[in-house]
A and B are shown apart, each in its own frame.
Chain A
Amino acid sequence: MRPEAVAAVAPLQGEVFGNPSGSHRWAREARRRLDDARDVVAEAVGARPSEVVFTSGGTEADNLAIAGVLAAAGGRALCSATEHHAVLEPVRAAGGRTVAVDPLGRVDFGALEAELAEPGAAPVAVVSALLANNELGTVQDLAPLRDLLDRLAPTAVLHTDAVAAAAWLELPARVAPAQLVSLSGHKVGGPQGIGALVVRSGTALAPILRGGGQEHERRSGTPDVAGAVGFAAALAATVAERAATVARVEALRARLVAGLLAAAPDAVVVSPSAAADRTAGTVHVCFPGVEREALLFLLDQAGVGASWGASCSSGATEPSHVLAAIGVAPELAAGALRLSLGWCSTEADVDVALGAVPAAVRTLRGAVVGGSR
């Protein structure tokens, strides 16, 4: 966590213990902290405080967006084929469809038009598109997407999962075209287990968690005050430092990519190359002839925590649906590695990665295997 978040959370785990829904002085103190946090999040996204619904994280925010609109308005859900599973799965569970993407992972407008015009189908109630893809870093420009919807499905709600974008992009302008915006605390250096859904005023949304009616009847349950406060502190620090962080990390990224390609010239970077098309922090690279699971194992042993497509709850690796959707061949995707840089990454971290990754790739390619199959 960011030190600002650690410091902000500490009092909430000791002297400030009230339930913000109560009416006594301890409750009011907690309520004040929660609403301060709400103000900070609202300002960071360009929303009004009353539009911010705290959730247990990005996944709950995404589920609330999809299921909440369908429950309130009926109709169909669409999302891009490269969405996070937290959007894909609720869309699928509601009988919705995925929309093809271009080679960088952005919504293919022709495919979206075809889905919107599907003859005889129910009207589209919600369309979801990632602001920044969590595996590739690809940035989606939401304004033309909203324009297309205004033309063909004006009542459709546009949802964007901005979880992977929040650390890197100027959110207010970027998310302005969307009526629903998902955020997550730990992706900006805050605690895990806290997130938010921004619900623009006038958007029909039914709750999925029902109970005491907290969060303006949109998300029942005692709010996680400590989580919200930590999230807000991290987000405020992120916004304040964003320009400097992006510039610094872009330079680190450039050195990392150049170093990887120098050591393994046949490696294929599947993240967009132009800075305007992507966030600064994600490098997704495929090493032909290397098994991603074996590569991850060796990097873990070398002290490098990297990732790949996605992890299922058993901890096993699954092939990335994102790489498949942008047309990366399965043989190439088999050697996929996702390296993430963030606000705390340093030149020394890049040095470690540039030592460990090429060494692991060499080890796996040079492995003399005596087994027979």
Chain B
Amino acid sequence: MRVLVMMSGGVDSSVAAALLRDEGHDVVGVTLKLWGGESDSGCCSISDVDDARRVADRLGIDHHTFNFGDAFTEHVVGPYATEHAAGRTPNPCIECNRHIKFAAVDERAQALGFDAVATGHHARTTTRADGSHRVARGADPAKDQSYVLHVIDQPQLARTLFPIGHLQKAEVRRHAAALDLRTAAKPDSQDVCFITKVRGRASFLGDKIPLTPARVVDGAGVEVGSVPAVELVTLGQRKGLGLAGGAEPRYVVDVDRAAATVTVGRGADLLVAEQRVTGFRWAGAPVVGPVQVQCSAHGRPEVATVELVGGGEAVVRWAEPQRRVAAGQSVVAYEGDEVAGGGLAS
């Protein structure tokens, strides 16, 4: 097969490219230029592009750089700011997967005659008896990235390869070291690629949207603290609320942007029996009966049922009450290790 492998300059995608090459595929590496602003890895992430190119050189495969900066700004960075302004907590990596990696890049790959695209995600794909495909958890539970891949639809999934999904992270690093790849010991990337550690999220968003100072009150309406920006407060948040230390941890249980008021309470105040979800899609036929539902990248899956109620809206009914999920976070249903569907908390 002709395979276009997206190489971020990290160890996972380096080894993904190596494994594809060793399986005898015709492999071309591509690094995406997504963000023209500041990043922790230098302007235009040039050092990451260098790493990807040098790994490709070492592997003896072609390497190209594709500029998807405009699409990234339109579909990921812009909405990241406007979603925060609207009081939601978006996951930009998921939107990048939805609009860039498994959409725009996939379209480009098809136009250029590639049979498949590959990434270094810790996830697997499975094929059902009916020929449909599922994203499944990676073999390394600590590194599993299936949660952020729930947005890939069937036709794209049929063309997608995750070559390292069956490996533990330590095995990936050993493989890279055995091939003498310069990325073998490179630290894992963390956090949002377009926000620098030095400037941080508040400074980044402050350049793009108005930030509103807010009062922090307890359940009785008594002011107990303050925050500089209500737009940066997330449901369930515990830290950064300017609260005096107390015996029992206090969580954000309500955010009223119009009144610039954040209400804190006990963890139990967050518990609900149901969670509304928008834009929910099943990977195949709807699953009737219990599934495991996960609400953050490394959150614990909990038993629930999911029912579509029309207009892409769904209701997740928990077997046991669970904490409310911040609007904009992905709610992903699993059957065993397979992603059965997903949407965004409303």
Contacts and interface: CB of A to CB of B under 8 A. Distances in A.
Interface of A: 291, 293-294, 297-298, 300, 312-318, 363-364, 367-373
B107 A371 contact: yes
7 contacts: A314-B45, A315-B65, A316-B44, A316-B65, A368-B110, A371-B103, A371-B110
A51 to B, nearest CB: 37
Given A291-B108, A294-B112, A373-B104, A314 B153 contact: no
Interface residues of B, number: 25
B67 interface: yes
B67 A364 contact: no
Contacts of B268: none
A364 B111 contact: yes
Interface centre among A318, A363, A371, A373 (most CB of B within 10 A): A371
Given A363-B113, A370-B155, A371-B155, A315 B64 contact: yes
B46 interface: yes
Contacts of B104: 373
A314 B33 contact: yes
Query: Majority SS of interface residues in chain B?
Result: helix
Nearest to B32: A316
Given A317-B67, A372-B153, A367 B45 contact: no
B134 interface: no
Interface of B: 31, 33, 44-46, 49, 53, 64-67, 69, 99, 103-104, 106-108, 110-113, 153, 155-156
B108 to A, nearest CB: 6
B110 A315 contact: no
B157 to A, nearest CB: 11
Nearest to B110: A369
B112 A297 contact: yes
Contacts of A297: 64, 112
Given A316-B44, A373-B99, A373-B104, A298 B65 contact: no
A371 B33 contact: no
6 shortest A-B CB distances, which residue pairs?
A316-B33, A367-B111, A315-B65, A316-B67, A314-B44, A316-B65
Contacts of B33: 312, 314-316
A293 B67 CA distance: 8
Contacts of A298: 112
Given A371-B106, A372-B153, 12 more contacts: A291-B108, A293-B66, A312-B33, A314-B31, A315-B65, A316-B44, A316-B65, A316-B67, A363-B113, A369-B110, A370-B110, A373-B104
Contacts of A313: 44, 46
Interface centre among B44, B111, B113, B155 (most CB of A within 10 A): B111
A20 B108 CA distance: 53
Nearest to A318: B67
Nearest to A372: B153
Nearest to B66: A293
A371 B31 CA distance: 20
A72 to B, nearest CB: 31
B112 A315 contact: no
Contacts of B31: 314-315
Query: Majority SS of interface residues in chain A?
Result: loop
Contacts of A363: 111, 113
Nearest to B71: A373
Contacts of B153: 372
A296 to B, nearest CB: 9
Contacts of B110: 367-371
A293 B4 CA distance: 15
A370 B117 CA distance: 14
Contacts of A317: 67
Nearest to A312: B44
A186 to B, nearest CB: 22
Nearest to A291: B108
B156 A371 contact: yes
Contact of A369 (B44, B99, B111): B111
Nearest to B63: A315
A315 B47 CA distance: 12
B103 A314 contact: no
A8 B285 CA distance: 73
Given A371-B103, A372-B103, A373-B99, A315 B49 contact: yes
B294 to A, nearest CB: 24
Nearest to A313: B46
Contacts of B111: 294, 363-364, 367, 369
A315 B155 contact: no
Given A293-B67, A297-B64, A297-B112, A314 B46 contact: yes
A329 to B, nearest CB: 15
A25 to B, nearest CB: 43
Contacts of B49: 314-315
Contacts of B106: 371
Contacts of B53: 315
Contacts of A316: 33, 44, 65-67, 69
Contacts of B65: 314-316
A371 B100 CA distance: 11
Contacts of B107: 369, 371, 373
A312 B46 CA distance: 10
A188 B289 CA distance: 73
Contacts of A318: 67
Nearest to A360: B112
Contacts of B108: 291, 293-294
Nearest to A365: B111
B41 to A, nearest CB: 11
A315 to B, nearest CB: 4
B134 to A, nearest CB: 18
A67 to B, nearest CB: 21
Contacts of A312: 33, 44
A372 B106 CA distance: 10
Contacts of A370: 110, 155
A373 B152 CA distance: 11
Contacts of B99: 373
A373 B103 contact: yes
Contacts of A293: 66-67, 108
Nearest to B108: A294
A314 B51 CA distance: 11
